[in-house]
């Protein structure tokens, strides 16, 4: 079978993710890996889920837990999330919430909802590579969004027109971004809102790491700032995407979208057509666990990850050559390293694995224009103590040698 002749053109844009390939390395015991940006499984709230599953599968509940359910998602979970979002400064009701199979599904649906071939999506340079992967299927072009810049709306619009489409939305990983660990400050968020108003486009606010703040003051979500301007979520152009993956457990694949109800209505149609609904059992278990332990569990996570971040930053301060720079994130899972121009993260990784048995993610895949060769992403979520000191010492040796 010549598969090439039956593939749709969009498949040309879909490539294997460097991260997924690298995750295979986590199985080798002698490698110290800072590659996978995944939660520490030792921190999963296992007991809470055991209790929740027993409750959800008890007579009386089990039939509903194992049955098909509505595409919007579990009423109990949507009610909990409406309260949760209201607590974040986003007053809303269950009609403003759609449960998705992870926030990755939300990114796919939002791409499908808005992008026509040749349209432009505004993204940070670098941005979450999984968002580029999700959007690429809908054949967009990308333009660089820098919340610190004063580039005019007309310039974005003209560039998009020259590419044969229009700007549809801006996508931002707002808090402790994947991959840089950086947070967009209040002024940056207001500027993105102004730009979106001028261009009359949507904003996709990816808040996957929002709960994992270790120090500093929380910055209001862009959606909260927009509601403060307009009075109601129903008047807002910002679409908020949240996830339980980084707080409870990614294996459950439960995320959510919070937006004006007409947007939720369109996404419900999309979900009906794509997978009917996210797993009923998982939604019910998450609703049960979130109601009982979300706050206490997140505060335990913050304490553990804060110590790991501090350990990694201290090791970097100690070990790295002078001309290497890195971010100092206030939360999340990532530190972003910039090496001198001319260095190549991908080449470095090949050498690092072979000679020093240390792994990380080369930065280039996070850039929509393929730049950023001299950058790498480290995750501090999995390792603690001596492994971090040893891993960073190994990494510094590889960088020095290169
Ligand atoms: C910024 C960001 N958004 C979305 C996701 C997708 O996460 P999930 O589908 O597990 O919610 C990730 C996963 O790493 C991420 O880093």
Q: Which residues contact 116 (CB under 8 A, 6 or more apart)?
A: 138, 165, 168
Residue 378, classed as helix, strand or coil, is: strand
CB 355 within 8 A of CB 319: no
Cross-strand bridge partners of residue 172: 205
Give the residue among 88, 107, 96 at the shortest CA–CA distance from 72: 96
Measured in Å, residue 377 CA sits from the centre of ligand 1 at 15
Residues in the chain: 402
pLDDT per residue as tens digits for the range 40-83: 999 999 999 999 999 999 999 999 999 999 999 999 999 999 99
Structure tokens at 117: 């071939």
Pairing relationship of beta strands 202-206 and 238-243 according to DSSP bridges? parallel
Give the residue among 128, 99, 388 at the shortest CA–CA distance from 258: 99
- Cα 337 from Cα 334, distance rounded (Å): 10
Structure tokens at 199: 């261009």
pLDDT per residue as tens digits for the range 86-132: 999 999 999 999 999 999 999 999 999 999 999 999 999 999 999 99
- Cα 66 from Cα 72, distance rounded (Å): 17
**What pLDDT shows up at residue 224?**
98
- Cα 147 from Cα 106, distance rounded (Å): 23
Structure tokens at 131: 């968002």
pLDDT per residue as tens digits for the range 108-119: 999 999 999 999
Q: What is the pTM of this model?
A: 0.96
> What average pLDDT does the chain have?
95
Give the residue among 331, 293, 278, 302 at the shortest CA–CA distance from 46: 293
Average pLDDT over residues 162-191: 97
At residue 16 the predicted structure's pLDDT band, cuts being 50, 70 and 90, is confident
Pairing relationship of beta strands 358-359 and 32-33 according to DSSP bridges? parallel
pLDDT above 60 for 23 = no
pLDDT per residue as tens digits for the range 239-272: 999 999 999 999 999 999 999 999 999 999 999 9
Instruction: Give φ, ψ of 244 to 5 degrees.
Output: -90, 0
- Cα 169 from Cα 22, distance rounded (Å): 31
pLDDT per residue as tens digits for the range 280-295: 999 999 999 999 999 9
Q: Mutation test of ligand 1: which of 36, 99, 104 has the most ligand atoms closer than 8 Å to its C-beta?
A: 104
Q: What residues are in contact with ligand 1 under a 6 Å CB criterion?
A: 37, 102-104, 128, 130, 173, 178, 206, 208, 243, 245, 250, 255
Measured in Å, residue 104 CA sits from the centre of ligand 1 at 6
At residue 19 the predicted structure's pLDDT band, cuts being 50, 70 and 90, is low
Measured in Å, residue 399 CA sits from the centre of ligand 1 at 29
CB 173 within 8 A of CB 320: no
Please tell me the residue having the least CA distance from ligand 1 atom 2. 208
**What pLDDT shows up at residue 22?**
60
Q: Mutation test of ligand 1: which of 98, 243, 282 has the most ligand atoms closer than 8 Å to its C-beta?
A: 243
- CA distance to 24, 35, 101, 180, 184, per residue, from 331 (Å): 26, 17, 24, 11, 12
Q: Which residues contact 77 (CB under 8 A, 6 or more apart)?
A: 99, 254, 283, 284, 286, 287, 290
Q: Mutation test of ligand 1: which of 103, 134, 206 has the most ligand atoms closer than 8 Å to its C-beta?
A: 103
Average pLDDT over residues 145-167: 95
């Amino acid at each position: 079978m010549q598969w090439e002749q039956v593939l749709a053109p969009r498949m040309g844009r879909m490539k294997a993710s460097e991260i997924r390939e690298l995750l295979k390395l986590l199985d080798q015991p002698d490698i110290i890996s800072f590659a996978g940006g995944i939660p520490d499984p030792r921190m999963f709230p296992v007991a809470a889920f055991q209790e929740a599953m027993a409750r959800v599968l008890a007579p009386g509940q089990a039939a509903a837990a194992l049955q098909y359910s509505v595409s919007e998602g579990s009423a109990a979970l949507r009610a909990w999330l409406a309260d949760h979002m209201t607590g974040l400064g986003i007053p809303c009701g269950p009609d403003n919430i759609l449960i998705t199979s992870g926030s990755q599904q939300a990114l796919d649906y939002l791409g499908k909802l808005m992008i026509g071939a040749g349209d432009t999506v505004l993204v940070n340079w670098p941005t979450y590579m999984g968002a580029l992967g999700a959007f690429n299927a809908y054949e967009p072009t990308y333009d660089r969004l820098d919340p610190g810049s004063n580039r005019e709306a007309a310039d974005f619009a003209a560039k998009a027109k020259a590419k044969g489409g229009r700007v549809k939305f801006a996508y931002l990983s707002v808090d402790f971004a994947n991959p840089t660990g950086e947070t967009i400050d209040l002024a940056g968020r207001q500027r993105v809102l102004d730009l979106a108003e001028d261009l009359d486009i949507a904003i996709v606010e990816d808040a996957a790491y929002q709960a994992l703040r270790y120090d500093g003051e929380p910055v209001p979500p862009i959606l909260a700032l927009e509601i403060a301007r307009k009075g109601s979520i129903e008047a807002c152009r910002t679409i908020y995407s949240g996830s339980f993956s980084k707080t409870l457990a990614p294996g459950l694949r439960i995320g959510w979208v919070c937006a004006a109800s007409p947007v939720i209505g369109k996404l419900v149609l999309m979900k009906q057509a794509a997978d009917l609904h996210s797993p009923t059992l998982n939604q019910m278990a998450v609703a049960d666990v979130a109601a009982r332990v979300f706050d206490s569990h997140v505060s335990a996570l913050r304490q553990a990850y804060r110590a790991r971040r501090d350990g990694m930053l201290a090791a970097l301060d100690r070990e790295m050559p002078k001309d290497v720079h890195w971010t100092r994130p206030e939360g999340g899972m990532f530190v972003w390293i910039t090496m001198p121009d001319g260095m190549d993260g991908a080449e470095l990784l090949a050498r690092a694995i072979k000679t020093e048995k240390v792994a990380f993610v080369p930065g280039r895949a996070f850039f929509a224009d393929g730049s950023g060769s001299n950058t790498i992403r480290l995750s501090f979520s999995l390792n603690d103590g001596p492994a971090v000191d040893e891993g960073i010492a190994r990494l510094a040796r590889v960088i020095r040698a290169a």
